[in-house]
Structure 1
Amino acid sequence: MKQFLIALVFLTTAFSYAQDTGSIVGKLTDKEYNNESLAFANILIKGTTKGTTSDMDGLYAFENLEPGTYTLIYSFVGYETQEIPLTVVVGKVTEANVVMGASAAALSEIVITTTSRKDSEVALLLEQRNAVEIKESIGSIELAKLGVSDAATAATKISGVSSSEASGDVYVRGLGDRYLYTTLNGMTVPSDNVDKKNIDLGLFPTRLVQSISISKNFSPENSSDQSSGSIDITSRSLNGINELQFGFESGLNTQAIGQSKFKRTANQDDISFGFYSSNMTTKDAITQQSWDTESTTLPIDYSYTLTAGTKIGDKFKVLFSGSQSSDFEYNEGTFQQFNRNLLDVNYTDATNYSNTISTTGLVDMSYDFDDNHNVRALSLFVNKLTDQVFEAGRNRDGFVFEEVNDPDSYSQYVVDQNTIQTRLWINQIMGDHQIGTRNHLTWGYGYNQMDADEPNRIRNEVNIKKPTDTEAETIELANQGGTQQRKSFQDIEDSEYSARIKDVFNVFENDTISSLKLTVGGNYRYKTRDFESQVYGVDEIGAPGQVVPPSIDDIGSVFTQENFDNGSLSLVQQLPDTYNGELNSASGFLSLNYSINKFNFILGARYQNDEIIVDYNVGNAPGGRDGSVTKNYDNIYPALNVRYALNEKNNFRLAASKTITLPEFKEIAPFGYVSPTNQVVVGNTGLEASNVYNFDIKWELFPSRKELISATGFYKYIDNPINRTLDRGSSGYFSFYNTSDRAQVIGLELEADLGLVSSTEDNGYNLDLGFNFTRMWHTQDLRTFYNDNGSIANTFTYNGKDEIGLEGASDYIVNASLNFSTNWERAFNANISGNYASDKIYALGSAPDSQTTQSNLYNNEIIEKGFVVLNATFSQELSDNIDLSFKAFNLLNPEIKRTQDVRSIATGTESTETIRSYKNGATISLGVNINF
């Protein structure tokens, strides 16, 4: 591998005689006709034979221009000819929008900007037209118009993309976290949540975003660990010479604000300005810290931002942006758990209180050595603290099978308090160089650090003895296992180094007839994880009922040093659970981009070696506490992309590729994480990666500058898919398995972005409609493994089913938005958007235990029901420097529900049971933004 990388770097250096090119794009408007688009005007580069004409929308473009200064000549019969000098910068777009009229335009009527391709609406649409890959982008200019506040919401404005109100995940073509890959400026970025592969895009405010791009098919320069798409966030640099902006927003969650005493954890005294810090160990907290929840009376959401930057001299730019937000959520609903068709847990008042405080800080610096060489460095810090309280059984109807044998006499109450602090630090340095006449060399190096801690999780489970005619209600400590009363901590530390290098070599270019480019490069990623979890339980000595809390709101009063000293209580200190993970990924890629006439072909391949090592010391692990597991995947991943440009308004695209879906550390390590609802998720050391084969075909129509109509068909074949399912037998644990030999997905994706009303008058307005629809047909088989004697060794079939849909995939996804904007002196913008994703499988079912002959002791799949989300945003310019905004999210406040078909052991009939249901509430806010 080392020799391969050395050879790759040598090959890249050998092409370092080079430069890339830049472009000039723009729009011509007709001054004599209310600045409408001017078609068929002539644009010529002075001193050359290169020329073009504006299209029906007044758009024009000159691609692949060498850096330098050009003079463009604009002419139209009966109009004043104009000559405008323009500078082309490597890898960027110079945008010149020109007003043509009977007399020469004033200087103020000519707008010239030089931007990255991922900023300007005109440049982005031209890039999409000309790109060979199936790639879609949304830039900061359009995001500002839509009033979008974060990258997660921004991504849903792209066709086939949705986000789940239940999980917070972003889905591309109905496939979620497992099948996506997220990068920042083309480089890997760690997840802020160890339970997920991708970072929460909601942590990226759109003020930090220059553009968001989603590639729905595999490109060899990206990691092969993606099957539904890769999301790249391009962070923004300083705009102009100086920048100073302040914003403040305040609002409420309609359900949280209704709680006169919004519950907080007992860790509140250790939280300051969204940061947790304590000198007390979790063990000492058993007797030295309260066990009971606290509360706040006014759960108001807020956020504030500050952005400042300046240009120093002619070469150096620096930008700082910082923000903090606080959001409250409250929900209450049903929670049930069935294991082998038997009711294990039943709560009708499962309640969550949550407060999330996110603090971000970005420093971006860039230095232009000259027009050919640029180096950029950025550092992004994110601190996300979530303080959450879960309780259930306060209504005295709680039932837990292992604790309550007589539900007529007893109920159970549980309260789980957890403070989760994630600190993420991303550092990147990147270079962009042109050397010689044909090469464009880019590189990057990154170091990321992620700490995800649960410093003091507090959990109590008590049995409530119901009152009788002769006895009052009493509270007894639950004691099955000795850790029902516990405090615990969990520490996760991830470190990651990454590097990338890419060289684009222009082999030849024959005007607009044909050209050939060679791209070569490589990536390296090294990631480590140190994980530790320890539980300190409190057990009652003797028969239950000797230590009696006065009420469920004062459970902590019994956990005193006196009760430990007199032998009423004992400390149960479990051995710590630990695992260390290591990911070593090295890759190289090569592709050829050949265009001839209306065809463009990219043929390439990526060699990628992924090695995953997990060493663990975990209680109840199969084969004993200590163990180690190594996974190695060494493959070549080919990709083909073809574009046929029928004319300037119609494109046909075809793509085919092979990718992989790697298991995550937490899916391999056999550590069991207990959720607040007491569901346990355990890793599986036998889990293997999935290979995925992808095929796409797409048609695009660009009716005008801002309009797009497209239709896409796609097919995916997944070999050895990974699913979450309940373990067989009586454990009731969720785990991850290769449940199937194969899965198949067939999809149809339709998109339309249309201008319903368009006006150029000063008092006019515009009305735009965005709509996309995805229909998917997906299925996978369910495996059965046999022993040599023909008996069943293991099976994932259940209830007569040997075929099922794909976990996390919806049959239907619909996104729609309606945007109203004005051309008034003080612009007004209103946007209404909606999303619907149909039912999806939350977890697969499981077969009966292989040792039993009772075929009805199985688990059916758990289904997350579909629901509609409706959002609205409004913004109004109050002055040249002040904007006012109003936002309302989740207006319909739909019920989020998971169901499971359960068979009655007595009658043999099946009924659909709601095993989880709740509403998150609507969020309403008012904000002001000031530009100085």
Structure 2
Amino acid sequence: MNLTKLSIAAVFLTAFTPIAAQQTDSLKTEKRIEGVVIQGTTNKGAEANLINTQRRSLEVIERVGSAQLEKQGVGDVSTAVTKATGAQKQEGSGQVFIRGLGDRSNSTQINGLAIPSNDPMYKNLDLSLLKTDMIDYVSLEKVYHPKMWGDMSGANINIVTKVYTGKPYFKINLGSSISLNAVNTGTFFLQDGLNYFGFDTPSKPKNAALVNSGFAFTTSANNQQILNPINSSLSVDFGRNWNIGQGRLSIFGYGSFENQYQYLEGTTGGSYDAHGSILRIYDTAEEFGYDTNTTALVNLNYRLNPRHTVNFSTNFIHTTDQKLGLYEGFDRNYLDDPQRELGYTTLRRASTKVNDLLVNQLRGDHTLSESLKLSWNLGVNLLESQRPDRQQNASVFDKATGTSYFASSNPGANHRYFDRLKEKDYVGSVQLEYEATEKLKLQAGLESRFKDSDFRATQYNFRVTSPQGNYYLDPNSYDSFFNLDNYQTGSYFDIVTFRGDIRYNPENALIPQFYQAEMFNNAAFANLNITLNQKLSAQVGVRYDNLQQEIRYNTAIFSNGGEIKKDYSKILPALNVKYALDSKHNLRFSASKTYTTPLLLEIAPYEYEEIDELSYGNIDLYPSDNYNVDLKWEWFPRRNELVSLTAFGKLIQNPIARITASSSANTTSFANVGDQGQVFGAEFEARKDLLNLGQSRLYTFLNLSYIHTSQELDKEKVIRENSTVTADFIRAEDKMTGASDLLANVNLGWERKLDTGAQLDLVASYSYISDNVYALGYEMRGNIVDKAIHTLDAVAKYKTQSGIGISLSAKNLLNPTFHRVQDNTNAELTVRKYQLGAQLGAGVSYEF
């Protein structure tokens, strides 16, 4: 549909979008015409519509649409977010940093409602789980307004799922790709357990079986060879509508399955003292990975009449993430003699993460009168996340004898681990909008959220009791030692948990570690939108947030258990001002107060262990307060085009940071590290047509961000305020963790419409992320720093008029080296180093 013909109708159409509250418009030529009914549909994910929405909105918004994401070959929301200005993705996860602020500083919504994280380690959902084919757009709200929860200082990420409009259709997509690293390994291994589709989850041994038999594990610790590690994907989506009475019912459906193999080879686990002496390093490291994602979405939208709309959506996501690591190197936890030439540690670690998330939402928009509107939104989210059967086996190879043995000094070196997180998340909101006059509009609303979390974990340690020399160990087959027969003899190993020995004290030993948390949020907000004249408009608002949190725990850190109660109340004012210089230029100013609460992971006293890091929570953490200011200039040269420049600053009181503790395991925790921190920077964005020749268009979409961060580091404050965490910082001030100074995205696209009705799209995408601090140093040991990284992707798509589409993709063409270092004063010492490898893919689709 030609949107240029809808300038008058746009005032009405936007009433049925999430920005209904922003009808204030600065254009002299656009007027409201009473009694005129214009029917039509708009593609919310189209570039022109998103830019027009941004131009008209009183609030500062930034959106990445499905149409452009499809051209770039972006398949998941986490990658989509990184295409926005000031956003970066944390390597190895789906978590994103916005304006240098990470997971705890951001919030995530689907259709305006908060959703839970799929992982107890994070506050936000792993955005890579959400597929771009089922969304209209992703909205980044980096400037606060009171309709949002106040627990954010980076951005609120709102994923708007697709509501079907247009002609009935059915579309099927088939795709395949290869990781050059994976197919070139020669032999690809995974752990025993999950099947190809990721639905055969290993079960935790029953307590009765452990008591009666002892070694009751049903999966093998031997590596399983995988043939043909080739990625594949299949998805279908459809849309249809019916006239029912005076209304119209539409349905959008989406279902998909995809998998991905990965292989890394390099160095990991590096840890050093202040003088650069090695405490641990695995300089021969291989990691095999296999991920699956099964997604289903149904979105029902019933438009009773132009005044009333009701929508229901349900979204189920099942994902698995398998990793098998095989490592050789030096680790003083296992090799007592520091002379590396005498032998080396062999470590095998296999882990699987399984997530099941169900998101149900029911919402409605109602025009009660010409001046009064009501909207409401209810959500029920159910989550189950598991790490079933994490396996770790460690031994030492003696070069002198050519044999392997266990390090008896570390009973947890060989173990199996099971955990499970279950969450029930209920959220709801109601909002009234009253238009007193054409220049004065009042918005007010209430929001509530209740989340119940239950986390349980048990680690079964295999304590070796047989002296060295009394057994034979094959590091390629740990099953030959850890098995039922050897356990039942009582001569080789025992199974113990942190509570005791299963053989002699099963009643206590089999009680899992746990923490249970209840979180209750209540909020009320009010906004006053004022149009002072045709150029100047403002929004003045305030929000009251109350957060109550209660955590009960019994873990290895506090084996006697305990309880934490938190109660925070915040009053959050906000101001947004828009000045339209003319029909193509806007100036915007925003100021607000927000806050940042610690994550559940960061508070709960539980240890999370990875191959190169161990972290634990700090019960004494408390929220940071944030004072934010933004100044933005926008220019809209033509349809599809946008140029903007933003300056922003943040003052953060009592900032929270990840700090490194004194340990050979790179142990980290969290603390309010100083009295204040600062973030300030500048952002530039341009979406511009470079050349138009008949049916061809050459365009660019680029953004650039410079971000400067600093925070006070006060060890006396940390010692004074905390009972379980101490600090000995190497400097009095440092950067904030996760913040890169420079971020850049450059996309160059060419589209050609052929006389046959077919269309060809070619897009190249380049991204740059500069160095950023992963964790602060401790006792003269330098910061852990992720070095700068460059990426380049290219996508070609061809679609015929008959609905057949063909795509080719080449991703990670530069194949950069991911390099994490310990930045000591005398050298940069490698912590982790690898290359992900390029990925080549092809796909075909048919729409009818």
Distance in 2, matches of 1:60 and 1:767, equals: 32
The reply to whether residue 912 of structure 1 matches residue 828 of structure 2 is yes
> Deviation digits for residues 369-392 of structure 1, max 9, x if unmatched?
222111111110000111110120
Give, in angstroms, the shift of residue 788 of structure 1: 12
> Deviation digits for residues 739-786 of structure 1, max 9, x if unmatched?
121110110111222111013x3xx31000122111122111111327
Distance in 2, matches of 1:837 and 1:772, equals: 12
Q: Which amino acid aligns with 1:309?
A: G
Give, in angstroms, the shift of residue 684 of structure 1: 0.6
The reply to whether residue 485 of structure 1 matches residue 419 of structure 2 is no
2:178 corresponds in structure 1 to: 252
1:99-498 correspondence to structure 2 within 5 Å = 113-115=40-42, 118-268=44-194, 271=195, 273-278=197-202, 281=205, 283=210, 286=216, 288-314=218-244, 315-335=248-268, 336-339=270-273, 341=275, 342-393=277-328, 397-405=329-337, 406-466=339-399, 468=400, 471=401, 473-498=402-427
Give, in angstroms, the shift of residue 414 of structure 1: 0.6
Q: Which amino acid aligns with 2:748?
A: L
1:582 corresponds in structure 2 to: 518
Q: Which moved more, 1:893-902 or 1:400-409?
A: 400-409
8 Å Cα contact 2:519-2:550 kept in structure 1: yes
2:506 corresponds in structure 1 to: none
2:748 corresponds in structure 1 to: 818
Q: Which of 674, 692, 696 is the aligned partner of 2:609?
A: 674
The reply to whether residue 565 of structure 1 matches residue 495 of structure 2 is no
> Deviation digits for residues 715-737 of structure 1, max 9, x if unmatched?
00111111111124677521111
Q: Which moved more, 1:612-621 or 1:334-343?
A: 334-343
> Deviation digits for residues 457-476 of structure 1, max 9, x if unmatched?
1110111111x3xx4x1111
> Deviation digits for residues 587-637 of structure 1, max 9, x if unmatched?
01001000122101000011000112211001123xx53111122210111
Give, in angstroms, the shift of residue 794 of structure 1: 8.3
Q: Which moved more, 1:711-720 or 1:403-412?
A: 403-412
8 Å Cα contact 2:618-2:725 kept in structure 1: no
Give, in angstroms, the shift of residue 287 of structure 1: 5.5
Q: Which of 607, 611, 624 is the aligned partner of 2:544?
A: 607
* Partner SS for 1:153: helix
2:503 corresponds in structure 1 to: none
2:589 corresponds in structure 1 to: 654
8 Å Cα contact 1:220-1:591 kept in structure 2: yes
8 Å Cα contact 2:334-2:396 kept in structure 1: no
8 Å Cα contact 1:582-1:614 kept in structure 2: yes
Give, in angstroms, the shift of residue 292 of structure 1: 1.0
**Number of paired residues?**
803
Q: Which moved more, 1:373-382 or 1:702-711?
A: 702-711
8 Å Cα contact 1:477-1:547 kept in structure 2: no
Distance in 2, matches of 1:161 and 1:433, equals: 35
> Deviation digits for residues 58-96 of structure 1, max 9, x if unmatched?
x99746566x544xxxxxxxxxxxxxxx33xxxxxxxxx
Structure-2 change in CA distance of 1:44 and 1:667 (3 Å): closer
Distance in 2, matches of 1:63 and 1:449, equals: 46
Q: Which amino acid aligns with 1:591?
A: N
Q: Which amino acid aligns with 1:179?
A: S
Structure-2 change in CA distance of 1:713 and 1:685 (3 Å): same
Structure-2 change in CA distance of 1:365 and 1:557 (3 Å): same
8 Å Cα contact 1:490-1:532 kept in structure 2: yes
The reply to whether residue 693 of structure 1 matches residue 635 of structure 2 is no
RMSD across aligned C-alpha pairs, in angstroms?
A: 2.6
8 Å Cα contact 2:193-2:202 kept in structure 1: no
Structure-2 change in CA distance of 1:401 and 1:285 (3 Å): closer
Q: Which amino acid aligns with 1:385?
A: T
* Partner SS for 1:411: strand
Q: Which amino acid aligns with 1:487?
A: R
2:847 corresponds in structure 1 to: 931
Give, in angstroms, the shift of residue 154 of structure 1: 2.4
Structure-2 change in CA distance of 1:714 and 1:266 (3 Å): same
Give, in angstroms, the shift of residue 413 of structure 1: 0.5
Structure-2 change in CA distance of 1:164 and 1:64 (3 Å): farther
Structure-2 change in CA distance of 1:174 and 1:534 (3 Å): same
* Partner SS for 1:562: helix
Structure-2 change in CA distance of 1:442 and 1:861 (3 Å): same
TM-score using structure 2 length = 0.90
8 Å Cα contact 1:785-1:794 kept in structure 2: no
Distance in 2, matches of 1:438 and 1:368, equals: 20
Q: Which amino acid aligns with 1:518?
A: L
Q: Which amino acid aligns with 1:235?
A: T
Q: Which amino acid aligns with 2:545?
A: Q
Distance in 2, matches of 1:631 and 1:254, equals: 49
Q: Which amino acid aligns with 2:52?
A: L
Structure-2 change in CA distance of 1:813 and 1:185 (3 Å): same
Q: Which of 574, 592, 595 is the aligned partner of 2:531?
A: 595
Q: Which amino acid aligns with 1:845?
A: G
Structure-2 change in CA distance of 1:43 and 1:164 (3 Å): closer
Structure-2 change in CA distance of 1:911 and 1:706 (3 Å): same
The reply to whether residue 26 of structure 1 matches residue 3 of structure 2 is yes
8 Å Cα contact 1:841-1:862 kept in structure 2: yes
8 Å Cα contact 1:494-1:530 kept in structure 2: yes
Distance in 1, matches of 2:618 and 2:460, equals: 25
Distance in 1, matches of 2:634 and 2:791, equals: 28
Distance in 2, matches of 1:44 and 1:353, equals: 51
> Deviation digits for residues 546-577 of structure 1, max 9, x if unmatched?
2322x211121112322222222222233321
Distance in 2, matches of 1:375 and 1:815, equals: 38
Q: Which moved more, 1:368-377 or 1:864-873?
A: 368-377
Distance in 2, matches of 1:131 and 1:911, equals: 50
Structure-2 change in CA distance of 1:333 and 1:114 (3 Å): same
Is there any run of 5+ residues in structure 2 with no aligned partner, and where? Answer: 12-26, 500-511
2:822 corresponds in structure 1 to: 900
* Partner SS for 2:516: strand
8 Å Cα contact 2:515-2:552 kept in structure 1: yes
8 Å Cα contact 2:674-2:717 kept in structure 1: no
Q: Which amino acid aligns with 1:517?
A: K
Distance in 2, matches of 1:487 and 1:819, equals: 49
Q: Identity of paired residues, percent?
A: 29
Give, in angstroms, the shift of residue 43 of structure 1: 11
* Partner SS for 1:398: strand
Distance in 1, matches of 2:423 and 2:156, equals: 22
Give, in angstroms, the shift of residue 332 of structure 1: 1.5
Q: Which amino acid aligns with 1:554?
A: S
8 Å Cα contact 1:786-1:793 kept in structure 2: no
The reply to whether residue 501 of structure 1 matches residue 430 of structure 2 is yes
**Rg bigger for which structure?**
1
8 Å Cα contact 1:253-1:921 kept in structure 2: yes
Distance in 1, matches of 2:792 and 2:28, equals: 38
1:839 corresponds in structure 2 to: 771
> Deviation digits for residues 88-116 of structure 1, max 9, x if unmatched?
xxxxxxxxxxxxxxxxxxxxxxxxx3237
Q: Which amino acid aligns with 1:553?
A: N
2:18 corresponds in structure 1 to: none
The reply to whether residue 772 of structure 1 matches residue 694 of structure 2 is no
Q: Which amino acid aligns with 1:645?
A: A
8 Å Cα contact 1:782-1:796 kept in structure 2: no
Q: Which of 540, 563, 566 is the aligned partner of 2:464?
A: 540
Structure-2 change in CA distance of 1:196 and 1:778 (3 Å): same
